[in-house]
Amino acid sequence: MTQEKTREELLAENHELRQRVEEAEEVLSAIRYNKVDAVVVLGPEGNLVHLLKPDTRSYRILVETMNEGTVLMTSDATIFRCNSRFAELVGSPVERITNSPLWTYVPEEEHWTVRSLLDEAAKGSCRREIHLKAGQGKLLPVSVSLNPLQMEDSVGFCLVITDLSEQKKNEEIIAARTHELKVKSQHLEEMNAALKILLKQREEDKAEFEEYILANVKTLVTPYLEKLKQTRLTDEQQTYCEILKTHLDEVISPFVRRLSRSYMSLTPMEIQVADLIKEGKSTKEIADILKVSENTVIVHRHRIRTKLGLKQTKVNLASHLKSLST
């Protein structure tokens, strides 16, 4: 006959059963919320270790250590899970982000952009650059990659968010450097253009100066040197004249090489007439300046054309003479 348990024994047994139930509930709760990676079960062959969804913990570690923010949300844009990187990007703790709408972290002027992005993501993967509110009124440029997320009884979205602030900063630096180089390049082009003008002016001045030296030697020095040689000179004086002429030719030789030989064959008077023609003077004006008749000027013009090889051509004499000094 079974002996009835006393009240104290029943109370003790009830207490023990309650403890077992509580322990079981704690284990189930831990398993339900992924707080347990394995369970040890006592079996006929000893203790057995059962892994509980081994990939789940690996994925959770992977997501938490990513440099990109990740967000899981429902079709109405309610966030139900995010990693710590996303919380860092928006400057808010994970607990506060959970169950909050995505719009909390998107500037109002970009809501329409994100809505169209969600519509596009419902059909497949997509990507776009937007801004997120990063706290203290700051906007953070990010790249958002969206993928549709099939859940048990509904469809949601998975967002992977990449911080573009460093990239944008580098792009701004590159743009600033490019603009700076463009300005410097433009400045150099302007300087080169100015230098070309200065060099051209220098060449023109140089040619004019050379022509001036040659003309003066031909008109003011050479004639008198020739007359001096025709006078009664001693042998020593004659030698000095030859030396003087040689040295004079050496002085003007760099200029002579730059001008036409035909031009150097002109007489002093023809050189004067040629200079006046080059300046655009008429036959009458030249005659008045040189105190000669117009016919004399015409004869000189004819001889100049002949010596320059223009006798039977229609080349403008004034233009040709200008070309010889450039």
Whether residue 217 is found in the same domain as residue 307: yes
**175 within domain boundaries:** no
Contacts of 203 (CB under 8 A, 6+ apart): 326
Rounded to whole angstroms, the Cα distance separating 321 from 308 reads: 9
Whether residue 204 is found in the same domain as residue 319: yes
Q: How far is CA 19 from CA 7, 12, 14, 22, 25, in A?
A: 19, 11, 9, 5, 10
User: Domain range for residue 280?
Assistant: 200-324
**111 within domain boundaries:** yes
**60 within domain boundaries:** no
Q: What is the CATH number of the domain that holds 295?
A: 1.10.10.10
31, containing H or E segment: helix 7-32
Number of domains in the chain: 3
| Strand partners for 116 | none
Whether residue 157 is found in the same domain as residue 123: yes
Whether residue 211 is found in the same domain as residue 309: yes
**183 within domain boundaries:** no
pLDDT digits (tens, 9 = 90+) for 82-118: 888 999 999 999 999 989 999 999 999 999 999 999 9
pLDDT score at 106: 94
Whether residue 266 is found in the same domain as residue 297: yes
**184 within domain boundaries:** no
Show which of 140, 163, 186 is a domain's final residue: 163
**190 within domain boundaries:** no
pLDDT score at 49: 47
**224 within domain boundaries:** yes
**5 within domain boundaries:** no
73, containing H or E segment: strand 69-74
Q: Give pTM, 2 decimals.
A: 0.44
pLDDT < 50 positions in the chain: 1, 47, 49, 51, 257-260
pLDDT score at 228: 84
Whether residue 219 is found in the same domain as residue 150: no
Task: Name the phi and psi angles at 100, rounded to 5.
Answer: -100, 155
Whether residue 230 is found in the same domain as residue 141: no
pLDDT score at 182: 93
